[in-house]
Copies of this chain bind each other. A is one copy, B any other.
Amino acid sequence: MKPKISDVAKVAGVSPTTVSRVLNNRGYIGEETRKKVNDAMKELNYYPNDIARSLYIKKTFLIGVIFPTTGNPFYGQLIFHLENYANSLGYKVLLCNSQGREDKEKSYLHMLQRNQVDGIIAGAHNRGIEEYDIPNLPVVGFDRYLSKNTPVISSDNYEGGKQATQLLLDKGCSKIIHINGPIDLETPANLRRTAYEDVLRDNNMLPITYETEWANEEVIRRLFDEHPDCDGIFASDDMIASVVLREAKKRKISTPNQLKVIGYDGTETIRTLLPELSTVEQPIKGIAEKAVDLLIKQIDGAWNGDQLEYTLPVKLIDSETTSLQKGEK
């Protein structure tokens, strides 16, 4: 059986209360006693039962993290930073892969409540769920409006969309098409599209947007079929951009000569595997830290609740797929 406080007390020759005092640094403790207790803990390989502790103090130091899947490099990296930063602040992460499925997300939400998590960070690409309005449960959203009172962290989607579109224009594209996720998702990421449309209209060009949930080849083939004269594509994520590049290659459309492509996200994985892809890099680490900070502020009751949206700057990466070719304007 696992040793408990009373076992440690017995070995150390002190009372259980004293052990608890050592554990929590409360009251007066003599140096030798502290040593005896610590030695006993080591000898018994004792680790305090945090479950019991949590029950009494009504705090678990657990945070639930709900995202579509760690398998996607963007979320994988975001979750890495979330966990890493949370850990450095003494919090632990309960992982939930919702796969964008409403039913899974709901059941995770219940599970997290049963497990008495101190707070939840939930992320983009899930359909609307009203149930995030949980009394006394701090929540932070990423690129996603969860309820009227939950703060949302995003990168500067409008600015990113604007810069990406403007870059294609500057590099001489005359027919620019945008590929985005489904617009019915209520997410700040839609601002990328808004920015794209604004920039095009400002330049008297017609915005055309294709919608696709994932990096769906079929949609991209359709795009090429319907717009053979397209010479610039702004994809709302790098995976989609890479499929675009591939399809262009298949059709002997040269990049960047005939077609310029820019993606979105700029994960380390993409920067390693596909450094030639121009993209808009999101500050993933910054997003993660902001989200955790904000959540813990809520947990500690130190959040005044006035600012609901937090926007972090993006960085344009002008790489080979948008290079200005000689001979072009």
Residues of chain A whose beta carbon lies under 8 Å from any beta carbon of chain B:
2, 45, 47-52, 54-55, 60, 65, 69-73, 75-77, 79-81, 83-84, 87, 92-97, 99, 110-111, 113-116, 135-136, 215, 239, 242-243, 246, 267-270, 272-275
Contact = CB atoms under 8 A, between A and B. Distances in A.
Given A94-B94, A95-B95, A115-B51, A72 B76 contact: yes
A186 to B, nearest CB: 24
A174 to B, nearest CB: 28
A267 B116 CA distance: 35
A124 to B, nearest CB: 16
Contacts of A92: 94, 111, 115
B95 A83 contact: yes
A201 to B, nearest CB: 33
19 contacts: A2-B136, A45-B135, A47-B110, A49-B114, A50-B116, A51-B51, A55-B55, A71-B73, A71-B80, A72-B76, A73-B76, A92-B94, A92-B115, A93-B95, A239-B272, A243-B272, A269-B269, A273-B274, A274-B274
A111 B97 CA distance: 22
A47 B137 CA distance: 13
Residue of A55, A81, A99 with most partner-chain B CB within 10 A: A55
Given A50-B114, A70-B80, A71-B267, 17 more contacts: A45-B135, A47-B113, A47-B114, A49-B55, A49-B114, A51-B54, A51-B55, A72-B76, A73-B269, A75-B76, A83-B97, A84-B97, A92-B115, A239-B273, A242-B272, A246-B275, A269-B273
Contacts of A136: 2
